[in-house]
Structure 1
Amino acid sequence: MDDFAVYALFGVNGSPQRLLSADGSSRVRVAVPPSVRQVVLFSSGKWGQRICVNAELNDAERIPITIGKLTPYNKCLSWEQWEEETWTDSVTLIVTLEGGSLMKDDWSDPELILAVKEYTPKDTVAPLTAREGVGKRKRGHISDNCSDENKVTKRGEENMCLNGSMEKTTPVRKAKGPTKVGQKLFTSGKETTRTKGAANGAEEVQGIVGRTPLQSASRAKSRQAKTPTQAAPLVSPSGRWGQTLCPIDAQTAILIGGQGARMHFCKDPMWKLCTEDMSWVTAETLAEGPTPEARIGHTAIYDPDSKRIFVFGGSKNKKWFNDVHILDTQSWKWTMVEAQGKVPPLAYHSCSMFRGELFVLGGVFPRPNPEPDGCSDSLYIFDPHLSIWYEPIVTGDKPSPRSGHSACVMQERKIYVFGGWDTPVCYNDMYMLDLGLMEFSAVKTTGKAPSPRSWHGSVVLSDTKFLIHGGYNGNNALSDTFVFDIDTNSWTELMLPQLSVPRAGHCIITMETAGCHRFSEEDEDVDMDAGLVSRTLLVFGGGDNEGNFYSDLMTVSVEELLSAI
């Protein structure tokens, strides 16, 4: 059948129900029966000019539990109650079409309200109820008053961003400052993995196995909030943390994934950044093929030889990933690799590329599944040519198990590993992996070293220097900046007003920007060790553990950084 339609399957025993069709509304709201613990949404027929179908599962207060999006290349979504801790008995599914309206008269397009009957063998047809009148969904305000007894943290939860007000992102091209949302990103690192506790709207207990902050298992019943509708399409990414930002050429970077306010995975998971005018373009619908499922704590790395981005691992609520997705930036097509060999599901690991292979070190893994219960100290290598994982033989003094650390490839022969944490320790030590000898060694540093931290940002500045900024120390987000020189093994702290905002779980890259001059070897008066003077440092996203998630894009001249050392 060629006619476009969107269907939903409520529960394993239910029959598909048509929600959107060629002669129906472009917005539908369905009350999910209390007995239903699984919802599957899928499309059928030709998409034509239609862009996407947005879907939300909301609780009784119309606060999203989870979100998703159907596209011409991702035609099915599924949700299960045991994967969504905030799933209640009063769940509503809202489905909205964007682009290519299904209505003949788009100006009189109301929201259609459907009802789903409880499944019985004799009656599987869901009757239609009366149409709701034309109008916009009412706006509401999120209450910040949450009682302690309604906020309980369960052991082993991850991907956690604590409850508070909704995100306040203003849809503008360039944010002049941090975009705020009222929920805490991290909590105190003093509790162990076995800790359970209660918290208010400003603080919540967290077990720290080098994993993400803990999630609230229930919402305050006194909250009278409703999710505000989006007034206009975003022209810049929403505030988030745990995402990746991957440069693919001199002026282009790709943003993938992340989690924002109220533990919600971003509705806008993929963006393209153009540094010529610092503009953002939504990129989710630009690529064909199966897109990676929403996640945080993954890694994305670009191979300039094959012009492909490799996305590995990460987690979503209690789902853990060890899949490899590849985005070909020439054909703009996603593929999922069926790899041989074994690699555990990992999040908050590091991933470095050397001679076309991916070097994955450390990270959090579930033990037993799906609870995170430990950090890894293993090194895994993925060979894209053979689509195989293997563990190399390494010698020397290797780093202890950890997650949330950083890894910088220097001079195409060494990987420098800094920081991270594992219960109950947060690290500020440095290790170096010699890629020729496959030998680890501890690096003895001089100068004022960064304090112990994880989820910090790092980036290579030159052949001999890399930068560390921000992070989380178990109690607070940090705002300090340090540069490490591999020639002298020395740290230098920098005072930069552009990087004075505390943040963790953010991204840092270097790219060329408009108006920059590229120096050549013929320029006699140029210090070639500072050969990145034509480049700019860009910092995006993260959170500050005080209820703020950022969508700002901060820039600092690499020349300014190097001259300050």
Structure 2
Amino acid sequence: MDEFGVYAVFGVNGPPQRLLRAEGSCRVCVAVPPSVRQVVLFSSGQWGDRVCVNAELNDADRTPITIGKLTPYNRCLSWEQWEEETWTDSVTLNVALEGGDLTKADWSEPELILAVKEYTPKDTVAPVAARDLKGKRKRKRDRAAEEEDDNKVPKTEEEENTSSDSSEEKATPVRKIRGQTKCGQKLFSGGAAGETQGIVGKTPPQSAARTKSRQAKTPTQTAPLLSPSGRWGQTLCPIDAQTAILIGGQGARMQFCKDPMWKLCTEDLSWVAAETLAEGPTPEARIGHTAIYDSDSKRIFVFGGSKNKKWFNDVHILDTQSWKWTMVEARGNVPPLAYHSCSMFRGELFVLGGVFPRPNPEPDGCSDSLYIFDPQLSVWYQPIVTGDQPSPRSGHSACVMQERKIYVFGGWDTPVCYNDMYMLDLGLMEFSAVKTTGKAPSPRSWHGSAVLSDTKFLIHGGYNGNNALSDAFVFDIDTNSWTEVTLPQLSVPRAGHSIVTMETAGCSRFPEDVEVNAGSVGNTLLVFGGGDNEGNFYSDLTTVAVEELLAAIQRG
């Protein structure tokens, strides 16, 4: 079968139904039979110059429940009702083709296919009923109200299944919690969030921060995106001095980003959509995962994360030389984890903490265990660790210093936020609590961290259970001291964002009062995305010269 087509299977016993064909409409909407609890979407035949097929499951109010994308390298999607908590009995499947010959396409309205009987194939297209057209006009009148709903912040994974006495639920970045009262009232870790509305994909005010990218278009727009959509819970992974790879993330209304993978070029701070650039099966949409680059093997390792009520313990590897994804069939046991930390040391992945799911209906718990993945043997193992080990937590940070120590800061374990510091000696495999001096950051999780030098690393922003934070602190491992730094580029409250340091050529993008010679190479701090607990998910890219940060420490 060489002719291109997109097919769907509704229910475990249903036959394939053709939705899109080589010649025909580029968009279609299918009513899912009420008793169906599983949907499979797949393509068949030669893709040619077709780019992808966007897919959405929508509820009765046409609110996206979950999204996905077929590509020439990822030709099948599946959904199950018990993985999607908002699945109702009035679900529609919307698919739209991008690329190929679209000259005859009519993008004004999708065609509507009505499934008359469950498990009965139906290729004919039914005309849109008059009441449907009226419904569309009504939806246009109500669009303003719907857009307000779009900007509510989703809930966090750790809280979504946490039980309490209150029945009220509000949105936070991944999961829902009922009535959390301590350190968990709004955004990324504890409960209610997003009562005030904002703009999805918003760039912070220029007066508050110096942003370095255009405002991103929202995923629902048909125009090609020039930069990533607003999101939190993603990873930004540098692979060389000029390139970083953005993977995953989630925006408003708990929607996983339709543009999950981007390549950032630091020479001109430009973005390139990269999902279709790599061959092989791409990781399923997720947040709270980790992505780390091994400079020796030139590979990115993606581990864990979550999608709604689904946790992952898979390992995906992107070879940045061949640009091919592979999924590892690993031996050994590691639990599904999200919001853990992952550090690379001597070619192995050190995974600490995180949220792991317990059997329903018990709430989720946090891990205090250390797991190591050996890529050479494709095996997970737990090392023997001594000393004063950190308590269970998630949303913490971990910085590898001087290639022999991992510093662990902060995190969250319902209902407590932490601001303690632990150090793991990688030679002795011994944990110790670090006694610090100076003004320490307040308790927080989902903050950003980055290594600035051999002896210093940065902590910025995060979530304290009520608010997103905008402060920044530098820790010196030689003196075990904290220093608070204040810079306009880091003044916007955000959590669930990404911070990395990269070597970039000196250019005029650095602040005027920072001396950087033209043509020289220096370290630059890059801050991307995150949310502010007020309904805003950022798509901006902010740069700060590390020299400026270090100078601010001296001034402080």
Q: Where does residue 366 of structure 1 map in the other structure?
A: 357
1:294 aligns with 2:278: no
Distance 2:224 2:299 in 1: 29
The number of equivalent residue pairs is 507
Q: 1:411-434: per-residue Cα shift (whole Å, max 9, x none)?
A: 000000000011221110100000
Q: Where does residue 511 of structure 2 map in the other structure?
A: none
Picking from 146, 151, 164, the partner of 1:194 is 164
Deviation at 1:514, TM superposition (A): 4.1
Q: Where does residue 112 of structure 1 map in the other structure?
A: 111
Q: Is the 8 A contact 2:314 2:327 kept in 1?
A: yes
Q: Is the 8 A contact 1:257 1:269 kept in 2?
A: yes
Deviation at 1:124, TM superposition (A): 4.8
Q: 1:244-266: per-residue Cα shift (whole Å, max 9, x none)?
A: 00000001100000110001011
Q: Where does residue 200 of structure 2 map in the other structure?
A: none
Distance 2:3 2:405 in 1: 56
Question: 1:463-542 counterparts in 2 under 5 A?
Answer: 463-515=454-506, 534-542=522-530
Distance 1:107 1:401 in 2: 54
TM-score computed with the length of structure 1 as normaliser: 0.83
Distance 1:184 1:321 in 2: 19
Deviation at 1:112, TM superposition (A): 2.5
Residues 267 and 214 of structure 1, relative CA distance in 2, 3 Å threshold? farther
Deviation at 1:13, TM superposition (A): 2.0
- Amino acid across the alignment from 2:409: F
Picking from 309, 326, 333, the partner of 1:318 is 309
Distance 1:482 1:516 in 2: 26
Distance 1:562 1:295 in 2: 35
Deviation at 1:63, TM superposition (A): 1.5
Q: Is the 8 A contact 2:342 2:350 kept in 1?
A: yes
Q: Where does residue 384 of structure 1 map in the other structure?
A: 375
- Amino acid across the alignment from 2:528: F
Q: Where does residue 6 of structure 1 map in the other structure?
A: 6
Deviation at 1:182, TM superposition (A): 4.4
Q: Where does residue 547 of structure 1 map in the other structure?
A: 535
Residues 306 and 206 of structure 1, relative CA distance in 2, 3 Å threshold? farther
Q: Is the 8 A contact 1:187 1:545 kept in 2?
A: no
TM-score computed with the length of structure 2 as normaliser: 0.85
Picking from 236, 261, 274, the partner of 1:270 is 261
Q: Where does residue 153 of structure 2 map in the other structure?
A: 183
Q: Where does residue 23 of structure 2 map in the other structure?
A: 23
Deviation at 1:96, TM superposition (A): 0.6
- Amino acid across the alignment from 2:393: R
1:454 aligns with 2:453: no
Residues 20 and 482 of structure 1, relative CA distance in 2, 3 Å threshold? same
Residues 442 and 501 of structure 1, relative CA distance in 2, 3 Å threshold? same
- The DSSP-based 3-state class of the residue aligned with 1:197 is coil
1:232 aligns with 2:223: yes
Deviation at 1:117, TM superposition (A): 2.6
Distance 1:370 1:353 in 2: 35
Distance 2:123 2:5 in 1: 16
Distance 2:363 2:183 in 1: 7
4+ residue runs over 4 A deviation = 106-110, 123-127, 135-145, 184-189, 199-216, 369-372
Distance 1:369 1:357 in 2: 33
Q: Is the 8 A contact 1:470 1:504 kept in 2?
A: yes
Picking from 149, 153, 165, the partner of 1:165 is 149
Picking from 125, 130, 141, the partner of 1:128 is 125
Q: Is the 8 A contact 2:15 2:121 kept in 1?
A: yes
The worse-fitting range, judged by mean Cα deviation, of 369-378 and 230-239 is 369-378
Distance 1:200 1:83 in 2: 19
Q: Is the 8 A contact 1:452 1:473 kept in 2?
A: yes
Q: 1:100-152: per-residue Cα shift (whole Å, max 9, x none)?
A: 03x674479973321213336xx55465313799x99975655659xxxxxxx
Distance 2:157 2:285 in 1: 23
Q: Where does residue 252 of structure 1 map in the other structure?
A: 243
Residues 405 and 53 of structure 1, relative CA distance in 2, 3 Å threshold? same
